[in-house]
A and B are shown apart, each in its own frame.
Chain A
Amino acid sequence: MSTPATTIFSPALAARFDKLVTLYPVRRSALVPMLLYSQDEVGYISDAVVEEIAVRIGITPLDVRNVLSYYSMLRTKPVGKYNVQVCTNISCMLKDGYGILDHCKQRLGIGHKEVTPDGLFSLEEVECIGACCWAPAVQINYDFYDDLTPEKMDKVLEDYRAGRGKETL
């Protein structure tokens, strides 16, 4: 239940966390946002992240892991620079979301939850991302690409590969 002397986070994020834990009646309420923000910064929830969050909130690392393992959007392994998340829920499925997924798999040469050897892309099949009106949709990091066809998908991937994609990570 304290601020650790050394932090693995950036000063801005550390300061944000310092404030976050004071916002709720119970400190542990800050756990999920803290996990999400650290994932954005670090890329994944490493053991060091778990340890530091546990110290900051004043709970055991096991408690952090209990919550961490509950949410499938929190990951404990590094992903590629661009995490391609293909939706295959009902609307996207009807509009050939699986086709997009298969196309990505073939084009990137990786499967579900895998990373390309150069570390640039990772692929993930996800549940609804809330873009049903423009299905099929894909989320790369925090950016949406919708109304996709395999050709459009190729273009998107090509842009990212050439460094023209949006850099959010």
Chain B
Amino acid sequence: MADVTFTVDGKKLTAPAGTLLIDACRKAGIEIPAFCYYPGLSLQAACRMCVVRLEKVPKLQTACTTPVAEGMVVTTESDEIKQSRKAILELLLGNHPLDCPVCDAGGECELQDMTFKYGAAESKYVEIKQHREEQQWSPVVFFDRPRCILCYRCVRVCGEGMDVWALGVQNRGVSSVISPNGEDHLDCEECGMCIDICPVGALTSGTYRYKTRPWEMNHVATVCTHCGDGCKTTLGVRSVDDGSEIIRGDNRDKSGMNGDFLCIKGRYAFDFTTREDRITKPLVRQPNGQLAEVSWEQALEHAGMKLREIRDTRGGSAIGVIGSTRTTNEEAYLLQKFARTVLNTNNIDHHRTADYASFAAALQGKAGRTASLRDFLTAPAILLLGNDATEQHPALAWNIRSNVRQNRARLYVANHADIKLHRQAKSFLQIPQDGYAALVQYLAGNEAGFDGTEISAAFREALRKEESLVIAFGSEFRGRDIQSLVDFGLGLPNVKFAALGDYANSRGAADMGLMPDLLPGYVPLAAAKHFGEEYPSLPSAPGLDMLQMFDAAEAGNLGALYVVGSNPVERYGIDPTALKNTFLIVQDMFMTETAAVADVIFPAANLYEKSGTVTNTYGDLQLAKKAADKAGVRTDFELIVRLADKMGADPKKLVPFGRGVRADMGQTRGAQSGEADRHAVWLAANNLEPKLSPFDPFAVFDEIQRLVPSYNVSRFELLGGQDKQTRSDLVQIELDPARRDLVLPANDTLFTSGTLGRYSRMLHSVMESRTTKPAETAAD
């Protein structure tokens, strides 16, 4: 829209016509206070804090509902306005308890800030404040009615933002009260957005309440470790006896692709890190068959010696490696490099949840065709094929909903189930579960094999008219189906694609070559020319995939299996006795089904306890920073390097540390020698390490960027905490048509995430409350 010029506090401002005055002012650095206004939500004009004086208008006007107009003259601060805001605050404080010292919001409360600013501490009211008991609406949501200032932010974010509509306002006037949909409890997605968005301490979180104060925590911006969306999250951590503990997760600074959104898992399910049954000491199986705690040195020595013995006697092909979908890119890369150069084997695989290899093959050489999670927030049209994004990719669903609501994006959904995003869809097509391939053929104009109806014809027609489209497809698409979908998409103008897989770094694991036939960057083993220098003894034949490894183990042909952060026994339903003749090393946090039959168990750190990069399922590369700490555990990175060292390999060949970059640790400074270098101190404070250590992920990231061109993104922006889209056009592969994709979708819901969620008490209690609560109400 055309720009208009107006004057605010004597300053000439310009903004597009239709912009709200409050937004235009904030953009120009003029702060207008508001409780009820929240960017992205519908307007309420309930709090009257944002009142401003407009010239020639008799009364004060609310800046949150006034669009800017040409020649408008606005005053945002004057004695009159101050007086008005002060009076509003006095009214709000009329029944607001002054329990700031105990309130969770104390220190980050908007009402507190405003009271400080406008000085409404003295009240003319003498009536006694009415106290109401606090209510618990769910294991994670508590409501303290007297603290509520009725801004309706929670009601709107739950309804409009989440499309759950679990909160409402009952009664009217002074007796208005926020109420949950289940009379006395909430029946919702438990995302905690209402708590996050509450300007005061009326809604408090079950995990965080009364534990600390906001300024007492360290706040670390990192990446969520649950699903494949890669939400940015700011973890509040505090020190405890054995490290530092995460007590809060949110994204109030709206950094990252998820804005301020986090789902239940991101917001609450970090408590697996502090579970008391977490393994914190290395365990080695004794001759009597029992696992016993041993020292790190002994455990590493034992594992290294055995691996070396098996490699030297039976060859590398008798060793298998299974990687993780939760480790960083550096660790995944290092693991496959360790397997290929130290263990001399290509028997390496991971739990695949989407066929990223076929996706990469389909898009090779085509620039700008992968969609970032950000694209779903701005794209004019979106096609979602398969996958229930509300359950499996909550941030994607949030971005799609926001886009539909704010930009009127057109959403096309084709799914075998009636998924919740149907409600946002312009057009919805229900197809048989095995009908996705036929649907793509149908969309491309080949009607055979698809029962076309009027609806599907209209669906196709509307799609073909779209001038710019983002296509997201779930794990229903594999192999050739992906190729034909991409072929169909490329026939339309301006199409971008996204493959939806589960887990925090599934994409990274695939990109980093945790596959028997593909090197990092999906380079086939046969075409590994530029890998020669770093991979001197690369075996040329493809190794065994996950299932073949277990077959080999059962046949007694697998001497050793090294499992990093994965639980194949449970996930693939493997009979544990198949591994009885295999020397099994497991690195994990908990005694999983796989760890239970291991010969050596190393306690490993999780993604919240290490630094590195992760790639979400859309190919957005982000920096994860170390937030929590747990005494006794080590990062997978360190464990791999130490194991290689024990096997007699040169760690410097594995991790090219100390190359290129120098850090002065203070040795060279004469009188000040021994004092830590300022740069090193800064690095340590930012959870980075100077590249003098074989445990520095950035030394490996150097090598990744050198060998995997698609990861060669701006390091500067990455370190600044921004997400950078990897470039799939730089991938060059040719896939064997007979290649097995072995995709096993996790099929997680909002409240489960098989690998980590099962260790989260909070998720369990939420699930329990959901299974018992409806029964109670039915009995009423």
Contact = CB atoms under 8 A, between A and B. Distances in A.
A63 interface: yes
A66 interface: yes
Contact of A63 (B168, B171, B172): B168
Interface string A43-71: 00000000000000001111101100110
B171 A62 contact: no
Contacts of A61: 181
Interface string B165-204: 1111111100000011100000000000000000000000
A13 B178 CA distance: 32
Contacts of B165: 59-60, 62-63
A66 B169 contact: yes
Nearest to A60: B165
A28 to B, nearest CB: 12
Nearest to B175: A69
A137 B181 CA distance: 39
Point out which of B168, B169, B172, B181 has the most chain A C-beta atoms below 10 A from its C-beta. Answer: B168
A62 B172 contact: no
B757 to A, nearest CB: 28
B65 to A, nearest CB: 21
A65 B181 CA distance: 9
Contacts of A59: 165
B170 A69 contact: yes
A65 B177 CA distance: 12
A65 B168 contact: yes
Nearest to A70: B172
Interface string B144-184: 00000000000000000000011111111000000111000
A62 to B, nearest CB: 4
Contacts of B171: 69-70
A131 B171 CA distance: 27
A70 B171 CA distance: 5
Contacts of A60: 165, 181
Contacts, number: 26
A69 B169 CA distance: 9
Interface residues of B, number: 11
Determine the main DSSP class of A at the interface with B.
helix
A1 to B, nearest CB: 11
A59 B166 CA distance: 11
Contacts of B172: 69-70
A59 B168 CA distance: 12
A2 to B, nearest CB: 14
A53 to B, nearest CB: 15
A66 B166 CA distance: 12
A55 to B, nearest CB: 14
A163 B167 CA distance: 46
Nearest to A47: B780
Contacts of A70: 170-172
A70 B179 CA distance: 13
Nearest to B182: A62
B173 to A, nearest CB: 9
Contacts of B181: 60-62
Contacts of A62: 165-168, 179-181
A65 B179 CA distance: 10
Nearest to B167: A62
B184 to A, nearest CB: 13
A60 B158 CA distance: 13
A62 B170 CA distance: 9
A60 B179 CA distance: 13
A61 B172 CA distance: 18
Interface in A59-98: 59-63, 65-66, 69-70
Point out which of A62, A65, A66, A70 has the most chain B C-beta atoms below 10 A from its C-beta. Answer: A62
A161 B49 CA distance: 56
Interface in B407-457: none
A157 B165 CA distance: 46
A5 to B, nearest CB: 18
A62 B167 CA distance: 8
A62 B169 CA distance: 9
A14 to B, nearest CB: 25
A161 to B, nearest CB: 35
B124 to A, nearest CB: 29
Nearest to A71: B172
Point out which of A59, A65, A66 has the most chain B C-beta atoms below 10 A from its C-beta. Answer: A66
Contacts of B168: 62-63, 65-66
A75 to B, nearest CB: 14
B165 to A, nearest CB: 5
A65 B170 CA distance: 7
Interface in A128-169: none
A92 to B, nearest CB: 23
Interface string B385-422: 00000000000000000000000000000000000000
A66 B180 CA distance: 10
A60 B162 CA distance: 14
A65 B171 CA distance: 9
B750 to A, nearest CB: 19
A69 B173 CA distance: 11
A24 B266 CA distance: 42
Interface string B350-373: 000000000000000000000000
Contacts of B169: 66
A62 B183 CA distance: 9
Interface in A109-130: none
Nearest to B177: A69
Contacts of A63: 165, 168
A65 B178 CA distance: 12
Contacts of A69: 170-172
A143 to B, nearest CB: 28
Contacts of B170: 65-66, 69-70
A162 B180 CA distance: 46
Interface in B562-582: none
A103 to B, nearest CB: 30
Contacts of B167: 62
Contacts of A66: 168-170, 179
Nearest to B166: A62
A63 B171 CA distance: 12
B600 to A, nearest CB: 54
A70 B170 CA distance: 7
Given A61-B181, A62-B166, A70-B171, 18 more contacts: A60-B165, A62-B165, A62-B167, A62-B168, A62-B180, A62-B181, A63-B165, A63-B168, A65-B168, A65-B170, A65-B179, A66-B168, A66-B169, A66-B170, A66-B179, A69-B171, A69-B172, A70-B172
14 contacts: A60-B165, A60-B181, A62-B165, A62-B166, A62-B167, A62-B181, A63-B168, A65-B168, A66-B168, A66-B169, A66-B179, A69-B171, A70-B170, A70-B172
Interface of A: 59-63, 65-66, 69-70
Interface of B: 165-172, 179-181
Ranked nearest first, the 3 interchain pairs of A and B with the lowest CB-CB distance are A69-B170, A62-B181, A66-B168
